[in-house]
Amino acid sequence: MALGAAALLSTVLSATWPVQAQTPIVIKFSHVVAADTPKGRAAEFFAKRAGELTKGRVKVEVYPNSQLYKDKEEMEALQLGSVQMLAPSLSKFAPLGVKEFEAFDLPFIFDNYQELHQVTQGAVGKAMLAKLEPKGITGLAFWDNGFKSFSSNKPMHKVEDYKGLKMRIQSSKVLDAQMRAIGVVPQVMAFSEVYQALQTGVVDGTENPHSNLYTQKMHEVQKHLTVTDHGYLGYAVVVNKKFWDGLPVDVHKALDQAMTEATKVANDHARQLNEEALAKVKASGKTEIYTPTPAERLALKKAMAPVHKQMESRIGAETLQAIYKETGFDASKL
Ligand code: LMR
C-alpha cells in the first residue's frame, strides 16, 4: 500500500474506532523483588484482575526485580510520572519526608500478623497513607511480606555475636539505630545490589523476610541464618496522584476492586510463601538455620528496646502511641 493511502487509512480508523480499543490506559508497575514473592505475586494478580475488570481498557505492565528502577530511582520515577504504580517497602518512604512510615521498622513492634493488621487494615494505617498525598502520591493499600531474620557468615546466637558485623540495611534511620543497638555497623544499599555485596564481602550480612533472601539466592552466599522475627517488612502500594485522579470514574471503581482482591492475595499468602522459602533454604543445605532460645530472643529484644524511645521524636509520638494502642506494645514492660 502506498504511504499516503496507509496514512489516510490510519486517520480514518483512529477517527472511527472506540477510543479504548486503540489506547488502553497503561499502568507501569515497577518493583524490586522477584516475581515469586508475596509482592511479585500480588502485583501479577492485580495486573490480571485490572485487565479483566476493565475489559482490557487498562493494561498493567509489571516490571519485577529492579528491571526498570532501583529503590531510590523508582520513587522519583513515580513522582515524575515515568511509572504509575509501585509497592516500596515501608522503610523507603522516610526519604520522601514521610518519617511516620519508619514506625514499622521498630524492632519487635509487632508480635504477629494479627497485631500488624490492626494497624495496617485499620484507621491508623489509613491516616498514614493520607500523609503521602502532599507528595503527589496516593496510597492504595498495605501489602504484607513478613518478619525478618538475620543472615551472615558467622553464627549469631547471643547478642554479642552480632558485634562488629557489617550489615546491609534499607534506607531507614530506625533500622540504622536498631543495628547500632547491637553493635552492628549498618550500610544502606539498594536491594538489587545486596547479593553481590554479600558475595564479595562488602558487607557480612543482612536482614530479610525469607522469601526475599531465597529468591535473591542470598542463602548461597550466607552460611548462617538466625530466625529472630525481630522486625517486620511490608509494603505500601502507591500511585502517582495526578494519574490516579485523572482516571474515568468506572475505571477507578474497577481498579479499586482489583486492588482489594490483590491485597487479600498478598496478605493471605505472605506467611505461607515465607515458610516455604525457609524450607527451601534449609533443603539447599547451604545455610545453617538457627532458632534462638526464648532467653536469647529476649536478650535481643531488650538490647533493641531503647530504639523505640530514641526514634520517638523522628517518627512522631502521636503515630507511635496510636500504633502501641492497637498492638498493646509496652516497652517499659521489657
Ligand atoms: C529491601 O530493600 O530489602 C526490601 O525493601 C525489598 C522489597 O521490596 O521487599
Q: Where are the domains of the chain?
A: 22-319
* Number of other residues whose CB lies within 10 A of the CB of residue 33: 24
Q: 309: exposed, middle or buried (C-beta count within 10 Å: 0-12, 13-18, 19+)?
A: exposed
Ligand 1 atom nearest to 31, measured from its CA: 8
pLDDT at 175: 98
Q: Please check whether the domain covering 22-319 is classified as CATH 3.40.190.170.
A: yes
pLDDT at 256: 98
Look up the pTM and report it. Answer: 0.92
Can you list the alpha helix ranges (DSSP code H) found in 110-159? 113-120, 123-130
* Minimal-distance CA residue to ligand 1 atom 1: 191
Q: What cell numbers appear for 49 in the block?
A: 484482575
pLDDT at 15: 45
**Edge-to-edge strand ranges of the sheet holding 224-226:** 185-188, 166-169, 205-208, 149-152, 224-226, 288-290
pLDDT at 211: 98
Counting as low any pLDDT under 50, the low residues of the chain are 1-3, 6-17, 19-20
Cβ distance 276 to 38 under 8 Å?
Answer: no
pLDDT at 333: 65
* Minimal-distance CA residue to ligand 1 atom 2: 191
Cβ distance 238 to 85 under 8 Å?
Answer: yes
Element containing residue 75 per DSSP (H, E): helix 71-80
Cβ distance 42 to 101 under 8 Å?
Answer: no
Q: What cell numbers appear for 266 in the block?
A: 498478598
Cβ distance 207 to 176 under 8 Å?
Answer: no
Give the distance (Å) from ligand 1 centre to CA of residue 196: 15
Whether 120 lines ligand 1, by a CB cut-off of 6 Å, is no
pLDDT at 8: 47
Whether 33 lines ligand 1, by a CB cut-off of 6 Å, is yes
pLDDT at 21: 56
Spatial CA neighbour of 156 closest among 112, 210, 222:
222
Give the distance (Å) from ligand 1 centre to CA of residue 169: 9
Whether 170 lines ligand 1, by a CB cut-off of 6 Å, is yes
Whether 90 lines ligand 1, by a CB cut-off of 6 Å, is no
Give the distance (Å) from ligand 1 centre to CA of residue 33: 7
pLDDT at 3: 43
Ligand 1 atom nearest to 88, measured from its CA: 8
pLDDT at 91: 97
pLDDT at 72: 87
pLDDT at 14: 45
Cβ distance 304 to 85 under 8 Å?
Answer: no
pLDDT at 22: 64
Give the distance (Å) from ligand 1 centre to CA of residue 156: 22
